Amino acid sequence: MGDARELAGSGMALHHRGQAIGQAMKRREDPRLLTGGNRYVSDFFLPGMLEMALVRSPLAHARIRTVDASAARALPGVVAVLAAEDLGALAGPLPEGMADPRMTAAMPPPLANGVVRYVGEPVAVVLAESRYVAEDGADLVAVDFEPLDAVVDPATQMDAPVLHAHMVSNLAATVNVRVGAGRAALAEADVVVRRQLRLARVVAHPMEPRGIVAEYDAAAQTLLVHAGTQGVFGLRRSLAAWLGWSEDRIRVVAPDVGGGFGVKNRLYPEDALAVHLALQTGRPVKWAGDRYEEFVSTNQERDQVHEAAIGVTREGRIVAVVDDFIQDNGAYTHSALIVPNTTAVCIPGPYRVPHLDVVGRVVLTNKVPIGPYRGAGRPQATFVMERLLDAAADALGMDRVEIRRRNLIQPAEQPYNPGVAARDRGSPYDPGDYPACMEAALAALPKESPEPGLRVGTGLANYLEVSAGMGFEGARYQLMPSGRVRIASGAASQGQGHEITLAQIAADRLGASVDLFDIVEADTAAIGRGIGTFGSRTTVMAGNAVAEAAPLFRRAVQEAAADYLEAHVDDLEWDAAQPGVAVRGVPARALSLRALAERLERDGRPPVVVEHYFEGSRGAHAMGTHVVRVGVHPETGQVRLLDYVIAHDAGVVVNPLLVAGQIYGGTVQALGQALFEELVFSPEGQPLNTSFLDYSIPAATDFPRMALVKEQQMPSVSNPEGFKGIAEGGVMPPMAAVLSAVEQALGAGRVQLNAIPITPERVRAALVGAGGS
């Protein structure tokens, strides 16, 4: 049927905008979600279903002497209690889903096997007729622990005690990204400024905790899994590898998923255990986590300490940036080097950095493992670069905005190549007018008004959002008997609004109404292959697949209709009004999609189906600027957000309503991390604030007046449709912008704030340290 790009010639030119793309359309799933028609994992209640509860370690590091499950097994309603010794060959480490040759892997087992390495690690699992009985049974399991010294500080405990017997130290990997002369170039700078920068450990907390339901069909020897996951194909692949099965025996479906943010994108111990117990009992098995379990068992993130330096000329031009950082990786390595490598690669951001040397050490500790969380290393990189620029400006006596003007990449320099090697996931930048974006955000900030009792300051931060444009994603168009068109994708929405976004793209490419299309996602039975939704990739990857498949589908419809209309396929044209096809010049000889579907079904012919995959080779780059005005109460250290302006170049925008929601949502998350969020640990590795009573997340009353500047959107050259990512840009700059604003309020150059969150206690300590009050 020809190549998609060839067939796009008939009214499907690159960046063509029709009646749907660019329109603010409401999410399709909202009526279902608002009226209780949704179905999450917790809503599954199947005949004969059993439920799981986990016995979790109360210690960060300990040897397991014995596990006594006799009392639990005697409890009425308990079906089984398993410890590691009961898993046989499956007791070993879970499969390594993201191997990296630079890293010494240390994968978690389904159940702790001899040693526990963080508070919350599963030690035993109780299966019962209800969750209530399972929890009661878990309370009856007696575990005898021998406490061991905990590794809590990755800087001072890198060498001992060693957490894994196959490793010589707790250093799991080192990443190094170098451009130009690296750190040797610092000697060429007129001024060198150094800062130690800290980002706290945070918890993602999607609204819906993790969960899974596993059903085994013994007759067919197949497994059906419903899981709150961001990647059904990845979960299927990992389960198959763990079980030693072929993937075609496993179907994974994601029902409604209440948020993901990157942390629902791996095989967790609970997933493996639910599947194993379903196979063993022949009954459906469900596990639905609770909020405490989100604190002690789900991937966490940030938790980096940077020793960073910037060298500049007297005119404020960047000469070199050098950064040595430590990533506290927690107890295991299941996410490989995604977070630290992304941090290292993304530090230059939208600036000219001729010489760069970044070394990141990944150290294992007795904490919940690190994994990608919205931004996945990019917020850390933005924080480092923007804080260094502020420090350099202060050292030069230069305005903080002016130093950015002198170093932003100019439009004439695009496509700019930052010099990062392809092996480190570096690639040339997309076109963009970075200076104009920054100036637009600054111009949109409302005029300052008096704030009695507060010291007012303004800060800004620029960023470059690199979308995950590599790999592939597909679209499977099928003409249904009703005449509607079903489009299946391997993507997996967790609230992003894919149902309307992908329908808008298809509608434009086929010249049809968005109401013609039904979008099906997150089901391994619906399309041949897929990757999933993370890294701001769905519109870029699945959106291009939908766009490229549209002319192929149109051609397939014309071929199927040619016999019925007794015409050559080239004499048929797409009739958007019906929708359907008609003989060119003879509009009376036409066939609607519904009529065609009915005839194909009547004649026993297969339906019209087209499956197409878009392959990406490089990421898309979206630049933006955040400007914030804060008020600081000098006596209490309380920081109040007053005004917030965002400018973001999102490339070709499919749905501005959803784009705004994604940007605002990411910004809100990062403002929480700037001001409140930090998971605190004792010297023994105990997390001390594992509820929302102690772990603060932002509320509606904490946020300022916010505005999104609709600046010119410059299409990406990394993909035919010109899409750029938007889901993670909002989370990248707020932390640096807020600290900059607070410093300005208290006296830039006099007060240094180098750690987040910037709590009232830290504000007061900085003021006292500077001799202020």
- Give the pLDDT band (50/70/90) at residue 422: low
Q: Where are the alpha helices (DSSP H) in 629-746?
A: 656-675, 734-746
Range 232-253 average pLDDT: 97
Residue 10 has a pLDDT of 28
Give the three-state DSSP class for 748: strand
- The pLDDT tens digits of the residues spanning 444-454 come to 999 988 788 89
pLDDT at 109: 97
Strand 621-632 relative to strand 639-648: parallel, antiparallel, unpaired? antiparallel
Which residues pair with residue 145 across a beta bridge?
Answer: 64
Percent of the chain with pLDDT over 90: 84
Residue 712 has pLDDT above 80, yes or no: no
In which region does residue 205 sit, left (phi positive, over 0), alpha (psi from -120 to 50) or beta (all else)?
left
Measured between alpha carbons, how far is 708 from 718 in angstroms, rounded to an integer?
Answer: 25
Q: Per the structure block, which two tokens stand in for 710? A: 């609709």
Q: Cβ neighbours of residue 59 under 8 Å, at least 6 residues apart?
A: 116, 119, 145, 147, 684, 685
**pTM for this model (two decimals):** 0.94
The per-residue pLDDT for range 384-411, each reduced to its tens digit, is: 999 999 999 999 999 999 999 999 999 9
- Model confidence at 15: pLDDT above 70: no
Instruction: Look at residue 98 and tell me whether its pLDDT is greater than 80.
Output: no
Residue 37 has pLDDT above 50, yes or no: yes
Mean pLDDT of all residues in 244-251 = 98
Contact 350, 408 (CB under 8 A): yes
Average pLDDT of the residues in 309-336: 97
Q: Are 483 and 592 in contact (CB under 8 A)?
A: yes
**CA gap 541, 597 in Å, rounded:** 29
Between 691 and 450, the higher pLDDT residue: 691
Average pLDDT over the chain, rounded to an integer: 93
Which pLDDT belongs to residue 5? 34
Query: Would you say residue 426 has pLDDT above 70?
Result: no
| Spatial separation of the C-alpha atoms in residues 77 and 262, rounded to whole Å | 36
Question: Is it the case that residue 680 has pLDDT exceeding 80?
Answer: yes
Per-residue pLDDT tens over the stretch 498-551: 999 999 999 999 999 999 999 999 999 999 999 998 988 999 999 999 999 999
> Please, which residues bridge with residue 314 across strands?
none
By the 10 Å C-beta count (0-12 exposed, 13-18 middle, 19+ buried), 76 is classed as exposed
Instruction: Look at residue 425 in the predicted model and tell me its pLDDT.
Output: 59
Average pLDDT over residues 599-627: 94
* Interacting residues of 223 by C-beta distance below 8 A, sequence separation 6+: 214, 215, 216, 217, 239, 245, 249, 250, 251, 275, 278, 279
pLDDT value at residue 17: 55
Instruction: Inform me whether the pLDDT recorded for 100 exceeds 90.
Output: no
Residue 415, preceding peptide bond in cis (omega within 30° of 0): yes
Candidate from 312-321, 341-350, 709-718 with smallest mean pLDDT: 709-718
Supply the pLDDT for residue 16.
44
Helices 734-746 + 760-769 axis angle, to 10: 40
Split at pLDDT 50, 70, 90, the class of 6 is very low
CA distance 763 to 632: 9
pLDDT band at 684 (very low <50, low <70, confident <90, very high): very high
- Strand order, beta sheet including 455-466: 455-466, 621-632, 639-648, 705-709
pLDDT at 186 over 80: yes
Cα separations in angstroms, 581 against 345, 576, 722: 50, 8, 29
pLDDT, tens only, 118-149: 999 999 999 999 999 999 999 999 999 999 99
3-state secondary structure of 674: helix
pLDDT at 12: 26
Residue the block writes with tokens 């007053």 = 642
Tokens 């404020």 -> residue: 316
SS (H, E, C) 237-263: HHHHHHHCCCHHHEEEECCCCCCCCCC
Query: Are 511 and 587 a contacting pair, CB within 8 Å?
Result: no
Rounded CA separation 651/719 (Å) = 11
Q: CA-based angle 302:303:305, to the nearest 5?
A: 115
Q: For the chain, give the percent of residues with pLDDT over 70.
A: 96
Q: Kindly provide the residue ranges of all beta strands, DSSP E only, lying in 534-650, ordered along the sequence.
A: 572-575, 580-583, 586-592, 609-617, 621-632, 639-648
How much is the pLDDT for 237?
97
- Whether the pLDDT of residue 330 is over 50: the answer is yes
Distance of CA 100 to the CA centre of its chain: 20
Coil, strand or helix: which one is 70? helix
pLDDT reading at 87 higher than 80:
yes
Task: Please report which confidence band the pLDDT of residue 346 belongs to, taking 50, 70 and 90 as the band edges.
Answer: very high
- Which residues, at least 6 apart from 246, have a Cβ–Cβ distance to it below 8 Å? 240
- Contact assessment for residue 489 and residue 530, using Cβ atoms and an 8 Å cutoff: yes
Pairing state of beta strands 122-128 and 455-466?
unpaired
**Dihedral sign from CA coordinates of 578, 583, 585, 588:** negative
**Tokens encoding 109:** 């087992």
In this structure, the chain runs to a length of 773
772 has pLDDT over 80: no
d(CA 3, CA 241): 35
pLDDT for residue 302 is more than 50: yes
The confidence score (pLDDT) of residue 467 equals: 84
With contact defined as beta carbons under 8 Å apart, do 411 and 432 qualify? yes
- The mean per-residue pLDDT over the stretch 566-589 comes to 92
